[in-house]
Amino acid sequence: MQSKLSLLRLATLAVYWATVKADEIIYADGALNSNWQDWSWQSVINYDATDIFEGTSSISINSEAWSAFSVKDGPSTIVSYAGLKFDVSGANPDVSVSLSSSADSDSSASWALSEFGATITADNFTTLLLNFNNLPPGNGAVLASDTWDRITFQAGGNGAIYHLDNIILLDEIFVNPDILSAEPIGTNVIAVTTAGGADVSTIQVALNGQAVSVVGTSTMSPIGAPSSSISYLTLASSFAPGNLTITTANGTFSYTLPSSLSGTVDQSTNYPISPLIYGVNFPTSASYIQDLGVTLSRWGGNAVTAYNPFGQFTNAGNDWYFENRVADPPSADDWIGWVGGAGSQSIVTVPALDWVAKDATSYSYPASVYPNQTAFDPYNSDAGSGLFPNGSYVTPVPDQNHVYVPWNMSAASQWLSGLANKPTIITVDNEIEIASNTHQDMHPIPMGYDEELARVLNVSAMAKAVLPDVLVAAPSTCSWWYYWISQVGASDQEAHNNTDFLPWFLDQLQAQATATGVKPVDIIDLHYYYQPDTSANDAAAKALRLRMTRSLWDPTYVDESWVATSTANHQPNSSIIQLIPRIHTLIDQHYPNTKFSLSEWSSTDDTDLTGGLLTVDALGIYGRYKLDAATYWSDPDENGPVGLAYWLYRGFGTFFGSSSAQVSIPGFDPDVLGVYAGTNGGSNLTLVVVNKDPSGPVSLNLGGVPAGTYFLRHFGGEAGVAKYQTTISITSSSYIVIPAYTAVFLQQRTGGTGYV
């Protein structure tokens, strides 16, 4: 167990603010600064609230769902300040802060108040700082330069009631030198994170009461986070079990180093890893693809079902009031081109229902036609949810011609044949088994087995005729329940020889392949969303999040969700998902020699560290269990924990290995550890280790790991979320330390130390 004597100090509290020339006070007492305008919407705002205040009054805000308190400056000056400070009170209000530009409509990232690392209560104001050089959650990311002139505090889907006070743009932020963390890593290195250029030369280290000297120090500032820094202190001797004490000018950090878990890594026993497992949906830019090493980019999701490539329109379906809009990005052809130019292959959705959007403005459920609905778009009060107040779908079904134009295989063929840039893989629409829900206006009749198969075969025949090299992926089913059952229900299963959907579907594809000599589907594509509920995001939920990757592979892991007790007929065992081996077995039995992909999956939390650790674990599992392709839903922040998981394996041209090497650790507990080994033809060993335990380091004794020079990447633990990397020596394979809640990448560099 770790005991850290100094308090865990949050990034927001480790800095001080000082007025040097002119801070801009946007609000202090009574009224908004006259240079600023109120651009709020659907919120009740009182600038002179006295129920709780500092000074003489505060701002009270009551925002409806998705509405906001928003203020706009005169001339654009925000970018010249160092940060935005404000006081907030409320019962943990669901509010996010963002900046935007009225000149070009750009928006910054949106930072949830919960990401600032402080507790917000209704009784007292809490001071939060949006440091433009160290954005929340405090990994050193810097605000992009733009014509920012607007600050928006937007409520989430349940609205928000809260107070703000003392909203100030700071001219300067002084960072007091501080040593934030000091953790053991590798065989003899202490990783020390600092703020304000703190001096690490006076740090003293003792192991079991004996002083250990520091023989080398190197310091780096992480890529993409120039204001964070980390120093690696090399010790004169290696770690060993016992008490490690690190004494600094800003507190003492103590750890108990445990006895090591023993095993072996065998590079000579290996098999290829598909490079396409490191994909995401809709990467944001070419540099995103290159920085994270994204190998496969998907154009997919609910909003591409109605994609009209000729007008570049689409419809949001039930994600947003069944409204048409300009597709974003507009041109699939250009998109395939630039993702390819950045080094990524592409997987592109071909609409497979009978309609696509006719324009950028129409919507299916106008209030003028259907006055009685559960909700209307806060930005367009005429566009309704398509649900009666009792939750039933609005009837009569609207005439599709109001919003859509017909779509058919000749239109699809015209689109694909005209593409200047060809996709690597196409998918047959997206989750069409639930179209009568997500696109109830377009396809109100629940889809059954036969219709889904017919649509898959029709798109496949069209696509293979037009693009002879393309791989066809289907059925892109949304989740576990629909792998086995159609939206028609049990009667559909009974009508199909009482067979679950997937095995039936595979049998039909095999029959088609046998009859025609051409495999209609090259890749069985599913979406996988973990079913356990981790939304509480407390310690128990985080531990569950890190355990539930076992559902991808483990034949003994009973799913910790409704799946475990569902009585539906999902042979061989309805309570054990064991996803990748299960689907491989089904494919072998019903439609052999077919690939398997997951074109949507998620860590369940893109901003919490455990979402990143889960992603590292999952990417290791995908390689080890021979998944053929995967794309994350959707485009995790490059500098957030999930983005860092991709960077760890693939960032900036470094990669884990072309093959998965055998790891054998008797007594290994997958609830607390993930250990993956990669190799290039039996050399250049790479190890990725995830320590899922928040409370202390683990140590490994791994035969087959040669001593020598290693390139180290890591994130997590006390060091936090940033792209930390260095070169270290592994002095012996017998005692390698991985800090708590940390993912590490260690790659043998026999020929030198170079890395990008």
Ligand X SMILES: *[C@@H]1O[C@H](CO)[C@@H](O)[C@H](O)[C@H]1NC(C)=O
Q: Which positions from 361 to 400 touch ligand X by CB under 6 A, shown as an x/- string?
A: -----------x---------------xxx-x--------
Three-state secondary structure of 223-248: CCCCCCEEEEEEECCCCCCEEEEEEE
Give the residue, chosen from 85, 358, 455, 723, that forms a contact with ligand X under the rule CB under 6 A: 455
Alpha-carbon distances of 412 from 91, 424, 525, rounded to whole Å: 51, 17, 20
Judge if the upstream peptide bond of residue 396 is cis by omega within 30 degrees of 0: yes
For residue 412, the minimal CB distance to ligand X (Å) is 9
- 593 sits near ligand X (criterion: CB under 6 A): no
- 680 sits near ligand X (criterion: CB under 6 A): yes
The whole-angstrom distance between residue 513's C-alpha and the CA centroid of its chain comes to 37
Alpha-carbon distances of 302 from 45, 354, 472, 695, rounded to whole Å: 35, 15, 19, 40
- 3 sits near ligand X (criterion: CB under 6 A): no
Q: How many helices (H) and strands (E) does the chain have?
A: 12, 44
Q: Which positions from 605 to 644 touch ligand X by CB under 6 A, shown as an x/- string?
A: ----------------------------------------
For residue 454, the minimal CB distance to ligand X (Å) is 4
For residue 39, the minimal CB distance to ligand X (Å) is 32
- The residues near 465 (Cβ < 8 Å, ≥ 6 apart) are 413
> Please, which residue, 249 or 536, has the CB nearer to ligand X?
249
State whether residue 534 is helix, strand or coil: coil
Give the residue, chosen from 454, 536, 539, 540, that forms a contact with ligand X under the rule CB under 6 A: 454
> Please, which residue, 126 or 664, has the CB nearer to ligand X?
126
Q: Which positions from 711 to 750 touch ligand X by CB under 6 A, shown as an x/- string?
A: --------------------------------------xx
- 683 sits near ligand X (criterion: CB under 6 A): yes
Compute the distance between CA of residue 155 and CA of residue 402 in angstroms, rounded to an integer.
33
Report the 10 Å Cβ neighbour count for 369: 13
> Please, which residue, 368 or 390, has the CB nearer to ligand X?
390
Long-range contacts: 675-679, Cβ < 8 Å, 24+? Answer: 675/263, 675/700, 676/620, 676/621, 676/623, 676/624, 677/265, 677/267, 678/273, 678/623, 679/267, 679/270
Choose the binding region for ligand X from 313-321, 423-431, 680-688, 729-737 (rule: CB under 6 A).
Answer: 680-688
Are 73 and 150 within 8 A, CB to CB?
Answer: yes
For residue 653, the minimal CB distance to ligand X (Å) is 13
- 401 sits near ligand X (criterion: CB under 6 A): no
Residue bearing tokens 């398997």 = 596
For residue 561, the minimal CB distance to ligand X (Å) is 14
- 268 sits near ligand X (criterion: CB under 6 A): no
Question: Would you state the structure tokens that stand for residue 582, as one six-digit string?
Answer: 């299960």
State whether residue 126 is helix, strand or coil: strand
- 13 sits near ligand X (criterion: CB under 6 A): no
Are 687 and 679 within 8 A, CB to CB?
Answer: no
Q: Which positions from 201 to 240 touch ligand X by CB under 6 A, shown as an x/- string?
A: -------x--------------------------------
Compute the distance between CA of residue 677 and CA of residue 748 in angstroms, rounded to an integer.
11
- 436 sits near ligand X (criterion: CB under 6 A): no
Helices 449-466 and 409-417: crossing angle, nearest 10°? 30
> Please, which residue, 280 or 677, has the CB nearer to ligand X?
677
For residue 81, the minimal CB distance to ligand X (Å) is 23
> Please, which residue, 421 or 458, has the CB nearer to ligand X?
458
Compute the distance between CA of residue 353 and CA of residue 374 in angstroms, rounded to an integer.
27
Compute the distance between CA of residue 308 and CA of residue 288 in angstroms, rounded to an integer.
27
> Please, which residue, 158 or 410, has the CB nearer to ligand X?
410
Are 34 and 61 within 8 A, CB to CB?
Answer: no
Give the residue from 566, 352, 365 showing the smallest Cα distance to 460: 352
For residue 638, the minimal CB distance to ligand X (Å) is 26
For residue 754, the minimal CB distance to ligand X (Å) is 7
Q: Which DSSP symbol is given to 55?
A: T
With the CA atoms of 312, 314, 320 and 321 taken in that order, what torsion angle do they form, in degrees rounded to the nearest 10?
Answer: 120
Give the residue, chosen from 420, 535, 752, 756, that forms a contact with ligand X under the rule CB under 6 A: 752
Q: Which is it for the CA torsion 537, 539, 541, 545, positive or negative?
A: positive
Q: What angle do CA 571, 574, 575 make, to 5 degrees?
A: 150
For residue 753, the minimal CB distance to ligand X (Å) is 8
Give the residue, chosen from 77, 126, 575, 701, that forms a contact with ligand X under the rule CB under 6 A: 575
By rule CB under 6 A, what count of residues binds ligand X? 37
How much is the CA Rg of the chain, to the nearest whole Å? Answer: 27
Q: Which DSSP symbol is given to 559?
A: -
As to burial, measured by CB atoms within 10 angstroms (0-12 exposed, 13-18 middle, 19+ buried), residue 696 is middle
Give the residue, chosen from 92, 107, 218, 243, that forms a contact with ligand X under the rule CB under 6 A: 243
> Please, which residue, 26 or 442, has the CB nearer to ligand X?
442
> Please, which residue, 208 or 565, has the CB nearer to ligand X?
208
> Please, which residue, 74 or 682, has the CB nearer to ligand X?
682
Are 4 and 718 within 8 A, CB to CB?
Answer: yes
Report the 10 Å Cβ neighbour count for 603: 27
> Please, which residue, 273 or 690, has the CB nearer to ligand X?
273
- 197 sits near ligand X (criterion: CB under 6 A): no
Q: Which positions from 118 to 157 touch ligand X by CB under 6 A, shown as an x/- string?
A: -----xx---------------------------------
> Please, which residue, 415 or 724, has the CB nearer to ligand X?
415
Compute the distance between CA of residue 343 and CA of residue 426 in angstroms, rounded to an integer.
18
- 411 sits near ligand X (criterion: CB under 6 A): yes
Choose the binding region for ligand X from 186-194, 622-630, 677-685, 715-723 (rule: CB under 6 A).
Answer: 677-685
Compute the distance between CA of residue 484 and CA of residue 652 in angstroms, rounded to an integer.
40
Choose the binding region for ligand X from 102-110, 131-139, 401-409, 481-489 (rule: CB under 6 A).
Answer: 401-409
> Please, which residue, 32 or 405, has the CB nearer to ligand X?
405
Are 203 and 182 within 8 A, CB to CB?
Answer: yes
- 576 sits near ligand X (criterion: CB under 6 A): yes
Q: Which positions from 525 to 564 touch ligand X by CB under 6 A, shown as an x/- string?
A: ---------------------------------x------
Give the residue, chosen from 117, 159, 242, 258, that forms a contact with ligand X under the rule CB under 6 A: 242
Length of the chain: 756
> Please, which residue, 178 or 608, has the CB nearer to ligand X?
178
Choose the binding region for ligand X from 214-222, 333-341, 362-370, 453-461 (rule: CB under 6 A).
Answer: 453-461
- 666 sits near ligand X (criterion: CB under 6 A): no
Element (H, E) at 512: helix 501-516
Give the residue, chosen from 377, 429, 433, 451, that forms a contact with ligand X under the rule CB under 6 A: 451
Positions 175 through 194 that interact with ligand X (CB under 6 A): 176-178
Q: Which positions from 481 to 500 touch ligand X by CB under 6 A, shown as an x/- string?
A: ----------------x---
Interface positions with ligand X (CB under 6 A)? 123-124, 176-178, 208, 242-243, 249-250, 372, 388-390, 392, 405-406, 408, 410-411, 451, 454-455, 458, 497, 558, 573, 575-576, 680-681, 683-684, 749-752
